């Protein structure tokens, strides 16, 4: 009897998804007899609708360096997984039925935080699940790093580098929004790597006065430009006291932090300021060498877990060693940037303002 492995990619895409898929496949073909891969299309949506196809060995060739995902992806919020909506579809039942219909021995789920919650739910329902930690946000609990993160750090850093030259030529302040709604890892890493002067994370509420003071102080030191790296989810001390819904309403009315800060700099200093939102560019392009390595390691390790029939787990990197974490222990938890993370302390020692 052969082994039938289902594989799906869920949530926002990132570089490295194809490298993981290839890593699993190469290791599985090499170490297992009679292995067959079923590619589920467009994430959990495809699993619910029963959209899948058999993949051949050749489908895994030449994809190491390709960004995005050959399987397609979609967002199906976890909170709706057990809710029957107007279309009358019982999503959980459909996923279980399709898993059986495909005759799967296990299902690999390459996804972020939300997808890990659904992976945990499916494991609880008796399916053989292995998760793989994907996200440019690097916020999956229990792993030091997620694949896709370092590629995004490279892109965001490149954006900051480019803003530097134009900011210094014009003597302006450039305010760049970096992806990351809940956790500020990407902003922290690219901000330090790009030499930003102010770094604002969702985890550290900012005081606009402190940002303005930093820019004025730089002006006094005849630094006629400043770079401010702002996480998508950065919030002011006032916003931090609000409930999520109220904060979102305020955001919709008055714009994200990047616009508020740009306006405040122009209103309260002599500097011209410009906002910049690279947005989804940060999720695009080829995986960096770091991510190709990480994805290949994660993929090959997942194949090993299949051989050992070790299911209900997700692959992780802990102290430079690839390990498996129980889904029940990590799904549903977010890895935030700790207040005293060493990189924050180092940033502070360099004089970088975190807006607090
Ligand atoms: O989770 C990855 C991420 O890129 C976040 O950083 C960002 O907030 C979100 O996805 C954007 O989602 P979407 O692609 O659905 O606009």
- Does residue 181 have its Cβ closer than 6 Å to ligand 1? yes
Q: What's the pLDDT band for 251 if we cut at 50, 70, 90?
A: confident
CATH 3.40.50.450 fits 3-148+287-330, yes or no: yes
User: What ranges do the domains of the chain cover?
Assistant: 3-148+287-330, 150-283
Active-site residue, 137 included: yes
- Does residue 179 have its Cβ closer than 6 Å to ligand 1? yes
Taking alpha carbons only, the member of 320, 322, 319, 314 closest to residue 296 is 322
How far is Cα of residue 56 from the mean position of the Cα atoms in its chain? Answer: 29
Q: What share of the chain is helix, strand, coil (3-state, %, to 5)?
A: 45, 20, 35
Neighbour count for residue 238 (Cβ, 10 Å): 12
Which residue CA neighbors atom 5 of ligand 1 most closely? 180
Instruction: Tell me if domain 3-148+287-330 and domain 150-283 are identical in fold.
Output: yes
Identify the architecture of domain 150-283 in CATH. 3-Layer(aba) Sandwich (3.40)
Reported as type and span, the H/E element at residue 133 is: strand 129-133
Of all residues in the chain, what percent carry a pLDDT higher than 70?
Answer: 100
Q: Specify the pLDDT at position 221.
A: 84
pLDDT, mean of residues 89-99:
97
pLDDT, mean of residues 41-52:
98
- Does residue 112 have its Cβ closer than 6 Å to ligand 1? yes
Asked whether the predicted pLDDT for residue 1 surpasses 80, the reply is no
Q: Specify the pLDDT at position 223.
A: 77
């Amino acid at each position: 009897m052969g082994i039938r492995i289902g594989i799906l990619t869920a949530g926002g895409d990132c570089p490295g998804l194809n490298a993981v898929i290839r890593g699993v496949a190469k290791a599985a073909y090499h170490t297992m007899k009679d292995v067959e891969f079923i590619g589920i299309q467009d994430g959990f949506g495809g699993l619910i609708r029963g959209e899948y196809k058999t993949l051949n060995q050749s489908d895994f060739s030449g994809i190491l360096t390709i960004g995005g995902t050959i399987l397609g992806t979609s967002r199906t919020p976890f909170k709706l997984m057990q809710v029957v909506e107007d279309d009358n579809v019982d999503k959980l039942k459909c996923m279980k039925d399709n898993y059986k219909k495909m005759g799967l021995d296990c299902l690999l789920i390459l996804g972020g935080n939300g997808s890990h919650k659904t992976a945990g739910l499916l494991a609880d329902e008796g399916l053989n699940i292995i998760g793989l930690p994907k996200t440019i946000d690097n916020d999956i609990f229990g792993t030091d790093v997620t694949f896709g993160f370092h590629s995004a750090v490279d892109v965001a850093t490149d954006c900051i580098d480019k803003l530097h030259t134009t900011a210094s030529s014009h003597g302006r302040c450039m305010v760049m929004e970096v992806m990351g709604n809940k956790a500020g890892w990407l902003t922290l890493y690219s901000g330090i790597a790009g030499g930003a002067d102010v770094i604002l994370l969702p985890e550290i509420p900012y005081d606009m006065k402190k940002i303005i003071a930093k820019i004025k102080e730089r002006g006094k030191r005849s630094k006629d430009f400043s770079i401010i790296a702002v996480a998508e989810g950065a919030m002011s001390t006032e916003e931090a006291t609000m409930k999520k819904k109220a904060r979102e309403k305020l955001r919709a009315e008055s714009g994200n932090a990047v616009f508020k800060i740009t306006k405040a700099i122009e209103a309260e200093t002599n500097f011209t300021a410009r906002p910049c939102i690279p947005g989804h560019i940060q999720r695009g392009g080829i995986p960096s060498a770091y991510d190709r390595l990480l994805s290949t390691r994660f993929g090959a390790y997942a194949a090993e877990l299949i051989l050992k029939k070790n299911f209900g787990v997700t692959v992780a990197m802990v102290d430079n060693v690839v390990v498996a974490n129980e889904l029940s222990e990590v799904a549903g938890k977010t890895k935030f940037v700790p207040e005293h993370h060493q990189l924050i302390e180092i940033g502070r020692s360099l004089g970088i303002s975190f807006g607090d």
